[in-house]
Structure 1
């Protein structure tokens, strides 16, 4: 049992190093147009963007930034298999230019672009990012009518290429059933509103002094919701590597692209460190499931099915073949990282204590 993880240095506008129809799932969060921290990165690829901002032409700047992203979505479409899923985490932007404050609707512009490629939009997710900011008001404060609401959510746009994915071979059908999630997880994950904190991550060695990385839980959920074990997951804006780490934890293959090559050293350290933190996530899923089952039994509610792999009760027939493996090690071999996995006895899993910050709460 092994997975492969590949880094590609360069712009995601050209994914010529990835074959057509070879990717099962894309999970990404691009630079957000009209957010000031990304201005320079957009301008590096289109020098006219600087001019539009200097000349107070925000509509032109917004459109030119999105045209760069359009080419990325077109490349994603090319490399995705029929039935493959594209998940894009994006937030709208607010900005004052020439003394005029306004909203720049990134999510609707990306939605328009992806639909024009022929992608089918599936129900989207609103990610409500908890905030502890003491001053949430913008504009004129307590005085009408110049006050503005504060943006406290982002979107996870979800698209599918062509129709439903087909599982024609016996091997594919078995891999699908083994990739099932728990019934109680499904009830949380497939809500259209997610409510957990974002992260602010400081780091050195890269061209930016902080990242805008989405949290591990966001990538982990999407990967387990929309792909199978040993599928290939792509992130064309890999950054600090959250998607690749979530794929490694979930026993998926992955490809990551980033224009900033200095992230690669940071990613190597994260991929090859002691796997305990990633395994904690897997272990917590199992322990949380057993806690849920104990609660059902205490309330005298039925639990009708049995998972032979772990030897414990489950709620539905679809969970009977569910399997979760633990990462034994991840090493660098030539230009790729290789993850190797093992099956752990349930007694060993239950002996672990929940103490890692990456833990997913149900």
Structure 2
């Protein structure tokens, strides 16, 4: 009788027991990132402010309150410059972002600011390798729009109606300079089951609803963070989120044996994030620090 080796895939229950390090740095990402050492981060997963599309907390330095789009992009680029510096060669920057549709009543005509494309151009100019993005079809958004108002943007059933925003982009940027060289143990502990691998490594995600906006105006669901952390980092890596919000990325990192650092400008969200982390990643210590930065980064 021939015995066959059984491949055991790690679970969050097992990896969540690993001793890992987690911290929140309260401050403006443009300045706070300067405290992070060069080439010390393996993966960045984040969702920046959607310009002024969402209403964020009234915190000094909040980029989501900048009215001029070009100025907003200029300030956002400072974060991507720092992201490039702190990533290890071969490290990934994953940006969850949607374009900004502006209503006719505000601009006199309907138009869409291509935020995802502008970020891609910024990152290319900074020195990132641009890779294929993932298109996230947010099922909940389409349902919510129909429930909350008309299903038409324009004259019903007539040409030239407006196409609604039902998707977000998961932009993939890689720092050049070589590929990751994880240890054999890291590779084994980070394996992804075939079924999940085939479902995750495709360019359109249509099986993942959006998250509740109860505590944050632009959250992404825990499962989205879980996919990205497992797809683009190894057990023991350091994962960074410079626009942390309510700690979704940090919770995922803790559950799957990664270390994490979150940066958040809003004291309210830092408080919510710390409470949520304690509740959803029990057994993991979370350090809270203040960067001491100002808004004129």
Query: Hey, what does 1:12 align to over in structure 2?
Result: 29
Partner of 1:197: 209
- Number of the residue aligned with 1:149: 163
Residue pairs, 1:290-305, within 5 angstroms: none
Aligned residue in 2 for 1:93: 100
Q: 1:229 aligns with which of 223, 227, 235?
A: 235
Judge conservation of contact 2:20–2:257 (CA < 8 Å) in 1: yes
Structure with higher RCO (Cα < 8 A, 6+ apart): 2
Select which of 213, 218, 224 maps to 1:212: 218
Q: Give the TM-score, by structure 2 length.
A: 0.82
CA offsets 1:4-35 (integer angstroms, 9 cap, x no match): 11101111112122101000000000001241
Change (3 A) 1:192 1:202: same
Task: Give 1:69 shift.
Answer: 0.7
- Structure-1 residue corresponding to 2:10: none
CA distance in structure 1 between the partners assigned to 2:269 and 2:203 by the alignment: 32
Offset of residue 93 of structure 1 = 0.9
State how 1:112-131 maps to structure 2 within 5 Å. Answer: 112-130=121-139, 131=142
SS of the equivalent of 1:112 reads helix
Determine the C-alpha separation between the residues in 2 that align with 1:46 and 1:36. 7
Report the equivalent of 2:20: 3
Unaligned runs of 5+ in 2: 1-17, 291-297
Closer, same or farther: CA 335–105 of 1 in aligned 2, 3 Å: closer
**CA distance in 2: counterparts of 1:190 and 1:125, whole angstroms:** 9
Alpha-carbon distance in 2 for matches of 1:237, 1:91: 15
Q: Residue in 2 aligned with 1:68? A: 75
- The ranges of structure 1 where at least 4 consecutive aligned residues each deviate by more than 6 angstroms after the TM superposition are 39-43
* Paired positions, count: 263
Displacement, 1:263?
1.7
| Deviations 1:272-293 (CA, angstroms, capped at 9, x unpaired) | 2265xxxxxxxxxxxxxxxxxx
CA displacement 1:58-100 (0-9 Å, x = unmatched): xxx2111111110000110010010100000010011133322
Which residue of structure 1 aligns with residue 9 of structure 2?
none
Map of 1:275-290 to 2, 5 A cutoff?
Answer: 275=281
| Unmatched tracts of structure 1, length 5 or more | 51-60, 204-209, 276-327, 337-362
Q: How far 1:143 moved relative to its partner?
A: 2.6
The reply to whether residue 186 of structure 1 matches residue 193 of structure 2 is no
Asked whether the 8 Å contact 2:99–2:168 carries over to 1, the reply is yes
The answer on whether the counterparts of 1:33 and 1:39 sit within 8 Å (CA) in structure 2 is: no
1:138 aligns with 2:153: yes
TM-score for the superposition, normalised by structure 1: 0.68
Is contact 2:23-2:288 (8 Å) kept?
A: no
Q: Does residue 331 of the first structure (1) align with residue 285 of the second (2)?
A: yes
Which of residues 159, 162, 178 in structure 1 aligns to 2:173?
A: 159
- Bigger proportion of residues as strand: 1
The one-character-per-residue Cα deviations of 1:225-258 (angstroms, maximum 9, x if unpaired) are 0000010000000001111111111110000001
Offset of residue 164 of structure 1: 4.3
